[in-house]
Amino acid sequence: MSGRIPAHGAVSVRVRGQVQGVGFRPHIWRLAQDFSVHGRVLNDPEGVLIEVAGADVEAFIAAIPREAPMLARIESVEVTPFPGDLPEGFEIAPSRGSGSETPVTPDVATCTECAGEVRGTGRRHGYAFTNCTHCGPRFTILRALPYDRARTTMAPFAMCAACAGEYRDPADRRFHAQPIACPDCGPRLWLEVEGRIIAGDPVEEAVRRLKAGEIVAMKGLGGFHLACDAANVAAVARLRARKHRPTKPFALMAREEDLESIAALTDEDRTLLRDPAAPIVLVSSHGVLPEEVAPGMNQLGVMLPYTPLHLLLLDAFGGVLVMTSGNLSGEPQAIGNDEARDKLRAFADAFLMHDREIARRLDDSVERASPPMVLRRARGRVPGTLPLPSGFEGAPQVLALGGQMKGAVCLIKEGRALLGHHLGDLDDALSADEFAKAIVDYTALFDHKPVLVAVDAHPGYRATQVGQAMGLPVEVVQHHHAHLASCLVENGWALGGGPVAGIILDGTGLGPDGTIWGGEILLGGYRGFTRCFSLRPAPLIGGERAAREPWRNALARLDQAGLASRADALFPAMPRSLARQAAARGINTPVSSSAGRLFDAVAACLGICPVEQTFEGEAAMRLEALAAKAPAGHGAYSLTLDGKEIDPAPMFSALMADFDSATDHAVMVARFHAGLADAFAAAARSLIETDAASAIALSGGCLQNALLTEMLLDRLPGIPVLVHRRTPANDGGLALGQAAIAAARLAG
């Protein structure tokens, strides 16, 4: 740059927050043109730095937050005098300092402008890989850092002159958009059947087949999906039969206008659906789709088209598509073309493929808008970080490895936590491989050097075993203490913030007394806890089989309540005497205070999947759906507080009495939810009233139940209640709590 002039009245503008890798420098460059100011903008380790002078500097600065890029999150703008020289024009200067490499943002749904181009008449008309600085693939195409095209799966595609021009032009929406592409230079789409490429437009041909009831495997952002017409009962039934997935709800994809006909969308639902992360959102069903889509549920998991390929497909299809993970049951979804051809051959009639590789397997995130909650944290949310609460500023670098059924790791560094994506059930060998890969991957990405690894207390968890073998000091964290701490972190509860009463309603977790916990009120903070109240334990007859077969829990609870004859009448075909002998002798029968198993017991009494659950949480999800149908004023069963134990026995007596008077099942299930909420809220409130705790936290897998969460909140008015909004209450959030506890203990 020639002719540098001394600048009088020049200022330095420091912008902090999520301002790198989101198109912030070109945004500043454009504002500089608009306001005729001169100077420079650059990235450095603290964010974005602008050195600027001109008559309209004040107006220029005021416009910075007002017109910020969609993905930017500005935390602060600080203005100080600038004594140095400035160029005559306005330039985007090279980054200063180390650590200022552009961090990777999560994958982002197609923006409005790109959608307009795909649907318009320009050179990207109908192009399935259109993206810009504000949208497109990120984490799923990243192979290594720093994030630039050469280290992504876009590397094999050399930019054409037109794309290169856009890439270099600060005035263009695609300035430095690493995955920039067009039909002349970018990835290509095709449709294949039995290994043969089908001639003609691949999207039109795929739609023709979907309309004819076929199942199409399609390559998405973080993996393959299996798609079929959601309104076609035979197609949905065929997909279920082929996938050996009898009842687990299928996710759906449709344009917003097409969703309105199948679901009652609230304003909160619409806002969450349109979020750049484009999660699957659980919404209230109108019940117009075939029951086979989500058997026994009153909610549907829906998402908007989030890539240009989805947009093209849904524009041409015009209805609602089932869009379920393309995987073998229990395995992670396929990401490679050959892997998909091999594994999905038995499910799919055709394959909608392309030649951009997927570097990283990411499931769709699953969320709820009201009450806000994350059920599965994945695509669009990772690798986002969370700030750690005050007191953790100097926390050491800790790696936490999470639980077993919903694997996820967490890394903390420099006062921030990176909670990784959902890795599935680590019992599965391929999921276990993904788990090992995620540890390596996130460690490299976060430039992380752990001094300590935090694991669950259960020695049988794969994550625990991996952690023990890492050669690092190991901090063992009790399962439900980790749930409590994860809720505290998310809510910014300070390290020295004092004890909180944690209502932890969960499936299973090993307690320090060697029994299985899961229906607890813990009093404590990051450093420790005491168990103040818990559900009266019952035998888990058959150990892990009890989690799959709800009748076992019903038998245990009914026998405990002196209602053995009712169990005999309800489950005449089950091996009851064998089960009772095992319970009496303690053979493969640990005792458990699990709230999850209490839901299973109630479900089995009502004939809801008594013999077997085909997916984790099925009985509880169906109970929640049924309870939602009960009229207001349904009342509650009572669970009694006996010392430190909350005893559900009286509830089972009342449940049986309701049976005898032919009470509506929905009312019975609502009474169960209300009774459970009454008992736990009252016990937790007693800890507030005696000043033992100053707030109540809600965590554990059962808090994914929106009805139960709302009932607990209703019963705790005027008390600070901490809930999960951005991290899962289930085991997907466990690693966050483990990491915080380990760091707190290390800090002393």
Considering the rule CB under 5 A, would residue 77 count as an interface residue with Zn ion?
A: no
Q: Where are the alpha helices (DSSP H) in 356-503?
A: 429-445, 462-468, 479-490
Amino acid identity at 616: E
- Residues 496-515 binding Fe ion (CB under 5 A) are 506
Considering the rule CB under 5 A, would residue 22 count as an interface residue with Zn ion?
A: no
Of 160, 591, 641, 656, which one interacts with Zn ion (CB under 5 A)?
A: 160
523 binds, among Fe ion, Zn ion, none (CB under 5 to 8 A by kind): none
Strand partners, 535: 646
CA distance 476 to 453: 9
Q: Which residue has the tokens 């001639």?
A: 199
| Alpha carbon separation from 205 to 210, 235, 469 (Å, rounded) | 9, 17, 51
| Alpha carbon separation from 13 to 24, 41, 50, 303 (Å, rounded) | 13, 9, 5, 39
- Residues 96-115 binding Zn ion (CB under 5 A) are 111, 114
616 binds, among Zn ion, Fe ion, none (CB under 5 to 8 A by kind): none
Stretch that binds Fe ion, among 19-27, 28-36, 175-183, 727-735 (CB under 5 A): 727-735
**Pairing state of beta strands 398-400 and 452-456?**
parallel
Contact 238, 394 (CB under 8 A): no
114 binds, among Fe ion, Zn ion, none (CB under 5 to 8 A by kind): Zn ion
# of chain residues touching Fe ion (CB under 5 A) = 2
Nearer CB in complex with Fe ion: 281/620:
620
731 binds, among Fe ion, Zn ion, none (CB under 5 to 8 A by kind): Fe ion
Q: How far is the CB of 406 from Fe ion (least distance, A)?
A: 8
Of 219, 279, 731, 732, which one interacts with Fe ion (CB under 5 A)?
A: 731
154 binds, among Zn ion, Fe ion, none (CB under 5 to 8 A by kind): none
Considering the rule CB under 5 A, would residue 272 count as an interface residue with Zn ion?
A: no
Nearer CB in complex with Fe ion: 683/729:
729
# of chain residues touching Zn ion (CB under 5 A) = 10
Nearer CB in complex with Fe ion: 239/702:
702
Q: How far is the CB of 225 from Zn ion (least distance, A)?
A: 21
Q: Residues 129-158 vs Zn ion: string with x where CB under 5 A?
A: ---x-xx-----------------------
453 binds, among Zn ion, Fe ion, none (CB under 5 to 8 A by kind): none
Nearer CB in complex with Zn ion: 115/746:
115
CA distance 615 to 594: 18
Contact 731, 402 (CB under 8 A): yes
Which of 619, 402, 595, 614 shows the shortest CA–CA distance to 508? 595
Considering the rule CB under 5 A, would residue 184 count as an interface residue with Zn ion?
A: yes
Considering the rule CB under 5 A, would residue 367 count as an interface residue with Fe ion?
A: no
Considering the rule CB under 5 A, would residue 309 count as an interface residue with Zn ion?
A: no
Nearer CB in complex with Fe ion: 655/742:
742
Nearer CB in complex with Zn ion: 189/602:
189
Considering the rule CB under 5 A, would residue 441 count as an interface residue with Fe ion?
A: no
CA distance 190 to 139: 24
CA distance 659 to 45: 66
Nearer CB in complex with Fe ion: 301/701:
701
| Alpha carbon separation from 521 to 52, 483, 683, 697, 707 (Å, rounded) | 56, 12, 8, 9, 19
Considering the rule CB under 5 A, would residue 456 count as an interface residue with Fe ion?
A: no
Nearer CB in complex with Zn ion: 163/740:
163
Q: Which helix (H) or strand (E) holds 668?
A: helix 665-689
End-to-end CA distance of the chain: 54
Q: Where are the alpha helices (DSSP H) in 274-410?
A: 308-317, 337-343
Amino acid identity at 425: D
CA distance 593 to 595: 6
Considering the rule CB under 5 A, would residue 520 count as an interface residue with Fe ion?
A: no
506 binds, among Zn ion, Fe ion, none (CB under 5 to 8 A by kind): Fe ion
Considering the rule CB under 5 A, would residue 185 count as an interface residue with Zn ion?
A: yes
Estimate to the nearest angstrom the gap between the alpha carbon of 224 and the chain centroid. Answer: 18
Estimate to the nearest angstrom the gap between the alpha carbon of 526 and the chain centroid. Answer: 23
Q: Write out the residues near Fe ion by the rule CB under 5 A.
A: 506, 731
Q: Write out the residues near Zn ion by the rule CB under 5 A.
A: 111, 114, 132, 134-135, 160, 163, 182, 184-185
